[in-house]
Amino acid sequence: MNIVKDAFIKSLPILVGYVILGFGFGILLADAGYGVLWALAMSVCIYAGSMQYVGVSLITGPASLLTAAITTLVINARHLFYGLSMIKKYQNTGIFKPYLIFSLTDETYAVISGNQEERPSIFYFFLSFFNHCYWIIGTVLGSCASSLPFNTEGIDFSMTALFVAAYTDKKKKKTNIIPSVVGLIVTLIMRFLFGKDLFLIPSMIVITLVLLLLQKKSKIQQGYGSQHQGQNCQLNKRQHQQKETKDE
């Protein structure tokens, strides 16, 4: 029981964000002509956050299955790296592993990866389950509230606002903002070259390639720096030994 309580407490910071963002998605989906059952089904079976927002445009627009598949893969490609970094934590989770893989969202990953303590698999399960429930509740409430007389204009900007806020926070903390700057510049260029309907996939491909090249360059420089430092240490050691020999 303490494990369930601990998982619930750890999930509370995600509660408000998921309910609010899920609420916006539910309203957008209903505004596109899809009712509460569609919102429930998408949140239970897809549970992809930003991809569900994009999905509203995909299912209402002239997007082909291939476009939908490529867009989904590109937008959620970061989960490949999430999964690789969670191999050790999830290696002994048994029957919970399939659901844990499915429910590994950005926020859930942040909570689990940021916790250095060893946790039982049931803790990871309930943490993921609570977060999933928050998202489902938010989307269902949003779909139900769509019948109320209020203006829904601008709600589709909520995910954009979320990422802008995350970028601003990263810049304020003075952490490495190179990936963010690369993403911003490449996206603007692709938007100009391909237009608003086709710029997404080229942007993600070019951003991925540029970041991979920068990472490779950084590793080469680090390797050269380490090698150069090692050579200096060996040279200093030899000079010290020669000096001791002369003194003798």
pLDDT in tens, 113-138: 877 778 889 999 999 999 999 999 99
SS (H, E, C) 77-136: CHHHHHHHHCHHHHCCCHHHHHHHHHCCCHHHHHHHHCCCCCCCHHHHHHHHHHHHHHHH
Residue 48, classed as helix, strand or coil, is coil
Q: Which candidate, 185, 179, 187, 181, places its Cα nearest to that of 204? A: 187
Q: How far apart are CA 40 and CA 56, in angstroms?
A: 14
The vertex-41 CA angle with 38 and 43, nearest 5°, equals: 105
pLDDT of residue 39: 93
What is the sign, positive or negative, of the torsion defined by CA atoms of 183, 186, 191, 194?
negative
pLDDT of 50: 82
Distance CA 201, CA 63 (A): 13
Burial class (CB in 10 A: 0-12, 13-18, 19+), 136: buried
pLDDT by position in tens, the chain (length 248) = 788 999 999 899 889 889 988 998 999 899 888 999 999 999 999 998 888 888 888 888 777 788 888 888 877 877 877 887 788 888 888 899 999 999 998 888 888 887 777 888 999 999 999 999 999 999 999 999 888 776 767 766 766 776 676 667 666 665 666 777 888 898 899 889 988 777 877 887 888 788 888 877 776 766 655 555 655 566 666 666 666 565 55
